[in-house]
Structure 1
Amino acid sequence: MAEVVGPRLYSCCHCRNHVALHDDVISKAFQGRHGRAFLFSHALNIMVGPKEDRQLMTGLHTVADVDCSDCRGVLGWKYERANEETQKYKEGKFILENLNIVKENW
Protein backbone atom coordinates (compact mmCIF):
# COMPACT_ATOMS: atom_id res chain seq x y z
CA MET A 1 0.00 0.00 0.00
CA ALA A 2 1.33 3.41 -0.98
CA GLU A 3 2.01 5.94 1.74
CA VAL A 4 -0.17 9.06 1.62
CA VAL A 5 1.86 12.22 0.97
CA GLY A 6 0.52 15.69 1.66
CA PRO A 7 -2.38 17.04 3.69
CA ARG A 8 -5.85 15.56 3.79
CA LEU A 9 -8.08 17.77 1.71
CA TYR A 10 -11.35 18.08 -0.17
CA SER A 11 -11.72 18.52 -3.91
CA CYS A 12 -14.50 19.47 -6.30
CA CYS A 13 -16.38 16.28 -7.16
CA HIS A 14 -16.54 17.25 -10.85
CA CYS A 15 -12.94 18.23 -11.70
CA ARG A 16 -10.89 17.32 -8.58
CA ASN A 17 -9.74 20.92 -8.06
CA HIS A 18 -8.55 21.26 -4.43
CA VAL A 19 -11.05 23.45 -2.56
CA ALA A 20 -10.44 22.97 1.19
CA LEU A 21 -8.10 21.46 3.77
CA HIS A 22 -9.38 18.94 6.31
CA ASP A 23 -7.68 20.99 9.05
CA ASP A 24 -10.04 23.88 8.24
CA VAL A 25 -13.22 21.92 9.06
CA ILE A 26 -15.05 23.65 11.90
CA SER A 27 -18.15 21.46 11.95
CA LYS A 28 -19.54 18.46 10.08
CA ALA A 29 -23.07 19.02 11.44
CA PHE A 30 -24.44 21.52 8.91
CA GLN A 31 -27.26 21.27 6.41
CA GLY A 32 -26.86 22.49 2.83
CA ARG A 33 -29.46 22.87 0.11
CA HIS A 34 -29.07 19.23 -0.92
CA GLY A 35 -28.16 17.45 2.31
CA ARG A 36 -25.25 17.32 4.68
CA ALA A 37 -22.56 19.98 4.58
CA PHE A 38 -19.37 21.00 6.38
CA LEU A 39 -18.51 24.42 7.78
CA PHE A 40 -14.94 25.47 6.84
CA SER A 41 -12.87 28.37 8.13
CA HIS A 42 -11.20 28.76 4.70
CA ALA A 43 -11.70 27.61 1.12
CA LEU A 44 -9.33 27.78 -1.83
CA ASN A 45 -9.54 27.75 -5.63
CA ILE A 46 -13.06 29.13 -5.51
CA MET A 47 -15.04 32.04 -6.91
CA VAL A 48 -17.43 33.93 -4.64
CA GLY A 49 -20.61 35.18 -6.30
CA PRO A 50 -22.74 38.23 -5.51
CA LYS A 51 -24.12 38.72 -2.01
CA GLU A 52 -27.79 38.06 -1.37
CA ASP A 53 -30.05 37.78 1.64
CA ARG A 54 -31.25 34.22 2.18
CA GLN A 55 -33.58 32.76 4.79
CA LEU A 56 -31.81 29.68 6.14
CA MET A 57 -32.72 27.24 8.90
CA THR A 58 -30.96 29.45 11.46
CA GLY A 59 -32.44 32.75 10.31
CA LEU A 60 -31.75 35.47 7.77
CA HIS A 61 -28.15 35.60 6.49
CA THR A 62 -26.32 37.50 3.78
CA VAL A 63 -24.54 34.83 1.75
CA ALA A 64 -22.70 34.45 -1.55
CA ASP A 65 -22.64 31.24 -3.57
CA VAL A 66 -19.22 29.60 -3.92
CA ASP A 67 -18.18 27.97 -7.20
CA CYS A 68 -15.15 25.90 -8.18
CA SER A 69 -12.66 28.21 -9.92
CA ASP A 70 -11.83 25.48 -12.45
CA CYS A 71 -15.12 23.93 -13.63
CA ARG A 72 -17.50 26.57 -12.17
CA GLY A 73 -19.55 23.91 -10.37
CA VAL A 74 -21.50 25.17 -7.34
CA LEU A 75 -19.89 23.96 -4.08
CA GLY A 76 -21.89 25.79 -1.42
CA TRP A 77 -21.86 29.33 -0.04
CA LYS A 78 -19.96 31.84 2.06
CA TYR A 79 -21.56 33.50 5.06
CA GLU A 80 -21.05 37.23 4.61
CA ARG A 81 -23.30 38.46 7.42
CA ALA A 82 -25.56 36.99 10.08
CA ASN A 83 -28.45 38.99 11.54
CA GLU A 84 -28.77 36.97 14.75
CA GLU A 85 -26.09 37.56 17.39
CA THR A 86 -25.83 33.80 18.07
CA GLN A 87 -24.98 33.19 14.39
CA LYS A 88 -22.17 35.78 14.04
CA TYR A 89 -19.51 33.05 14.37
CA LYS A 90 -20.40 31.95 10.80
CA GLU A 91 -19.41 35.25 9.20
CA GLY A 92 -16.56 34.83 6.73
CA LYS A 93 -16.88 31.02 6.86
CA PHE A 94 -17.78 28.59 4.07
CA ILE A 95 -20.40 25.87 3.70
CA LEU A 96 -19.33 23.15 1.27
CA GLU A 97 -21.96 20.51 0.57
CA ASN A 98 -20.87 16.89 0.85
CA LEU A 99 -22.60 16.18 -2.46
CA ASN A 100 -20.15 18.54 -4.21
CA ILE A 101 -16.81 17.59 -2.62
CA VAL A 102 -14.68 14.44 -2.36
CA LYS A 103 -11.88 13.45 0.01
CA GLU A 104 -8.28 13.38 -1.26
CA ASN A 105 -5.15 11.92 0.45
CA TRP A 106 -7.10 9.92 3.05
Structure 2
Amino acid sequence: MAELMASRAYCCFKCQNLVAFHDDIVSKDFQASNGRAFLFSHAMNIILGPKEDRQLITGLHTVADVYCSDCGEELGWKYIKAYEETQKYKEGKCVLEKFKIIKGNG
Protein backbone atom coordinates (compact mmCIF):
# COMPACT_ATOMS: atom_id res chain seq x y z
CA MET A 1 0.00 0.00 0.00
CA ALA A 2 2.84 2.43 0.79
CA GLU A 3 4.28 1.97 -2.71
CA LEU A 4 0.91 2.75 -4.26
CA MET A 5 0.73 5.97 -2.23
CA ALA A 6 4.27 6.94 -3.22
CA SER A 7 3.39 7.18 -6.91
CA ARG A 8 0.08 8.91 -6.19
CA ALA A 9 1.44 11.96 -4.38
CA TYR A 10 3.32 15.06 -5.50
CA CYS A 11 5.84 16.90 -3.35
CA CYS A 12 7.84 20.11 -3.51
CA PHE A 13 11.00 19.36 -5.50
CA LYS A 14 13.13 21.26 -2.99
CA CYS A 15 12.04 19.93 0.41
CA GLN A 16 9.72 16.96 -0.40
CA ASN A 17 6.77 18.57 1.42
CA LEU A 18 3.53 16.87 0.28
CA VAL A 19 1.54 19.35 -1.83
CA ALA A 20 -0.98 17.36 -3.91
CA PHE A 21 -2.39 13.96 -4.81
CA HIS A 22 -2.49 12.45 -8.29
CA ASP A 23 -6.23 11.85 -7.97
CA ASP A 24 -6.76 15.63 -7.72
CA ILE A 25 -5.32 16.33 -11.19
CA VAL A 26 -7.97 17.97 -13.38
CA SER A 27 -5.70 18.55 -16.40
CA LYS A 28 -2.09 17.96 -17.44
CA ASP A 29 -2.39 20.32 -20.41
CA PHE A 30 -1.57 23.62 -18.72
CA GLN A 31 1.24 25.93 -19.73
CA ALA A 32 3.30 27.95 -17.26
CA SER A 33 6.02 30.44 -18.10
CA ASN A 34 8.65 27.75 -17.56
CA GLY A 35 6.92 24.84 -19.27
CA ARG A 36 4.17 22.33 -18.57
CA ALA A 37 1.98 22.48 -15.52
CA PHE A 38 -0.85 20.48 -13.96
CA LEU A 39 -4.21 21.83 -12.80
CA PHE A 40 -5.19 20.36 -9.41
CA SER A 41 -8.63 20.56 -7.82
CA HIS A 42 -6.93 20.70 -4.41
CA ALA A 43 -3.44 21.41 -3.09
CA MET A 44 -2.17 21.26 0.49
CA ASN A 45 0.71 22.58 2.58
CA ILE A 46 0.84 25.74 0.51
CA ILE A 47 0.79 29.45 1.29
CA LEU A 48 -1.08 31.90 -0.92
CA GLY A 49 0.56 35.11 -2.03
CA PRO A 50 -1.37 38.34 -2.64
CA LYS A 51 -4.25 38.28 -5.11
CA GLU A 52 -3.71 40.08 -8.40
CA ASP A 53 -5.35 40.37 -11.78
CA ARG A 54 -3.22 38.69 -14.43
CA GLN A 55 -3.69 38.46 -18.17
CA LEU A 56 -3.10 34.81 -19.01
CA ILE A 57 -3.31 32.90 -22.30
CA THR A 58 -6.99 32.16 -21.63
CA GLY A 59 -7.95 35.70 -20.58
CA LEU A 60 -8.07 37.84 -17.47
CA HIS A 61 -8.03 36.05 -14.11
CA THR A 62 -7.57 36.99 -10.48
CA VAL A 63 -4.83 34.69 -9.21
CA ALA A 64 -2.56 34.25 -6.20
CA ASP A 65 0.87 32.66 -6.44
CA VAL A 66 1.27 29.55 -4.29
CA TYR A 67 4.34 28.71 -2.24
CA CYS A 68 5.47 25.60 -0.36
CA SER A 69 4.57 26.02 3.31
CA ASP A 70 7.87 24.43 4.39
CA CYS A 71 10.60 25.98 2.23
CA GLY A 72 8.78 28.90 0.59
CA GLU A 73 9.51 27.81 -2.99
CA GLU A 74 7.05 29.24 -5.54
CA LEU A 75 5.21 26.27 -7.07
CA GLY A 76 2.53 27.83 -9.25
CA TRP A 77 -0.69 29.78 -8.74
CA LYS A 78 -4.29 29.46 -7.60
CA TYR A 79 -7.21 30.76 -9.64
CA ILE A 80 -9.35 32.99 -7.44
CA LYS A 81 -11.68 34.39 -10.11
CA ALA A 82 -12.13 33.86 -13.85
CA TYR A 83 -13.76 36.66 -15.85
CA GLU A 84 -14.56 34.58 -18.95
CA GLU A 85 -17.56 32.30 -18.58
CA THR A 86 -15.73 29.38 -20.24
CA GLN A 87 -12.91 29.63 -17.67
CA LYS A 88 -15.07 29.53 -14.50
CA TYR A 89 -14.19 25.85 -13.92
CA LYS A 90 -10.68 26.96 -12.88
CA GLU A 91 -11.86 29.00 -9.89
CA GLY A 92 -10.49 27.66 -6.62
CA LYS A 93 -8.07 25.30 -8.37
CA CYS A 94 -4.26 25.35 -8.30
CA VAL A 95 -1.75 25.13 -11.11
CA LEU A 96 1.54 23.54 -10.06
CA GLU A 97 4.48 23.71 -12.44
CA LYS A 98 5.63 20.24 -13.46
CA PHE A 99 9.34 20.90 -12.87
CA LYS A 100 8.61 22.21 -9.34
CA ILE A 101 6.91 19.04 -8.10
CA ILE A 102 8.13 15.45 -7.85
CA LYS A 103 6.38 12.18 -7.30
CA GLY A 104 6.75 11.69 -3.61
CA ASN A 105 6.15 9.48 -0.64
CA GLY A 106 2.96 11.05 0.68
**2:73 maps to 1:52:** no
Identity within the alignment, %:
65
Shift of 1:104: 1.9
Q: Deviations over 1:57-84 (max 9, x none)?
A: 0000000000000000000000000010
**Tell me, what secondary structure is at the counterpart of 1:89?**
helix
AA at the equivalent of 2:50: P
The 1-side partners of 2:56 and 2:41 are apart by: 19
What's 2:32 paired with?
32
Shift of 1:88: 0.3
Runs of 4+ in 1 over 6 A off after TM superposition: none
**Tell me, what secondary structure is at the counterpart of 1:86?**
helix
Q: Deviations over 1:30-59 (max 9, x none)?
A: 001211000000000000111000000000
**Tell me, what secondary structure is at the counterpart of 1:23?**
helix
AA at the equivalent of 2:44: L
User: Structure 1 residues 5 and 89, CA, compared in 2 at 3 Å: closer, same or farther?
Assistant: closer
AA at the equivalent of 1:57: I
**2:1 maps to 1:6:** no
**2:14 maps to 1:17:** no
- Between Structure 1 and Structure 2, the one with more helix by share is 2
User: Structure 1 residues 17 and 85, CA, compared in 2 at 3 Å: closer, same or farther?
Assistant: same
Question: What is the TM-score normalised by the length of structure 1?
Answer: 0.93
CA RMSD of aligned residues (A): 1.2
- Segments of structure 1 that go 5 or more residues without pairing to the other structure are none
